[in-house]
Structure 1
């Protein structure tokens, strides 16, 4: 009996563009600012992105915009999620708690980035440089720049579907 073995040598991931955004505003405020300045319509998903981390589920809010005329999809996601952990202290009181906060990152290799804007596009209608310069013109944004996607170690965290 003849056995056939299929080998998948190529990586079939969709190409995307990733923009790092440094901004001190909350995610809903950033989505609102991008809607005003970029003529987009970001809306928050009903379900956030969940990742298991150190025995608990970490959630990251995500905002989507689909541009049907230009065949593009935009995803705005926060990089940092802060979780408050409560631990009971045995000495001191009957129900005294010690609270600590721990940060979890969507892409741990970019800990200083606040938000990521991920763009899928079949056609490049506006250049990446013009989009980044439009984002940098927003007063509340400290800086925005494009990232090389081949350097990202945790690409699996950027799968939002």
Structure 2
């Protein structure tokens, strides 16, 4: 009996993208405006935020589709803060509610990063440096740098479609 062997080298090829970490304290819409201004792009907020863990954590996301370069740009928040109220039961005269703030991260390995700029399609290093330099031109941005996507443990969180 003949043995048939299938070789699937290119079938499960990973998506190629560039990921830039951005440290700043701006609100998401202000950062999107600054990136639009300095990079000449048109990021627009998506109607629905990214929803993980069944609405326990949501992350704002902006998107721009560059039809000329066939590239999709995404600006996504890394931090989600939620507030819960819990009834405090003390044996005191007054019962009160206490507020609990929980923080969740889209990419837990980078807890100090505020936002990620994901550019689908792998770009060459000179264009990557150009983009990074233009991001750093904004005085409100503390720092920005490239992230090696092969080192990420939670890269599945960066699948937006």
For the aligned pair, the TM-score class normalised by the smaller chain equals 0.7 to 0.9
Matched, 1:135 2:157: no
Tell me the CA shift for residue 29 of structure 1: 0.6
Whether the 8 Å CA contact 1:49–1:62 is kept in 2: the answer is: yes
Alpha-carbon distance, 1:121 to partner: 2.6
Output the CA distance in 1 between the equivalents of 2:122 and 2:116. Answer: 20
The structure-2 alpha-carbon separation of the partners of 1:4 and 1:84, relative to structure 1 and needing over 3 Å to count, comes to farther
Cross-structure match for 2:81: 82
Shift of the alpha carbon at 1:12?
2.2
Q: Provide the C-alpha distance between the structure 2 equivalents of 1:151 and 1:123, rounded to a whole number of angstroms.
A: 18
CA shift, 1:153, in A, is: 0.2
3-state SS in 1 of match to 2:34? helix
Residue 5 of structure 1 and its aligned partner are, at CA, apart by 8.0
* Residues in 2 aligned to 1:66 and 1:120: alpha-carbon distance in whole angstroms: 10
Looking at structure 2, the residues matched to 35 and 114 of structure 1 have their Cα atoms a distance apart, in angstroms, of 18
Find the counterpart in structure 2 of residue 26 from structure 1.
Answer: 27
1:35 deviates by 1.0
On the 8 A contact 1:70/1:125 being kept in 2, the answer is no
Quote the Cα distance in structure 2 between the aligned partners of 1:3 and 1:104: 50
Q: Distance in 2 between matches of 1:59 and 1:142?
A: 24
Q: Tell me the number of residue pairs that the alignment of Structure 1 and Structure 2 aligns.
A: 158
1:57 Cα deviation from its structure 2 partner: 2.1
TM-score normalised by the chain length of structure 2 = 0.88
Closer, same or farther in 2 for the Cα pair 1:4/1:90, shift >3 Å?
farther
RMSD of aligned alpha carbons? 2.4
SS in 2 for 1:37: helix
Q: How far apart in 2 are the matches of 1:118 and 1:103? A: 22
Alignment check: 8 A CA contact 1:19 1:146 kept: yes
Query: For 1:5 and 1:99, how far apart are their aligned partners in 2?
Result: 60
Match of 2:51 in 1: 50
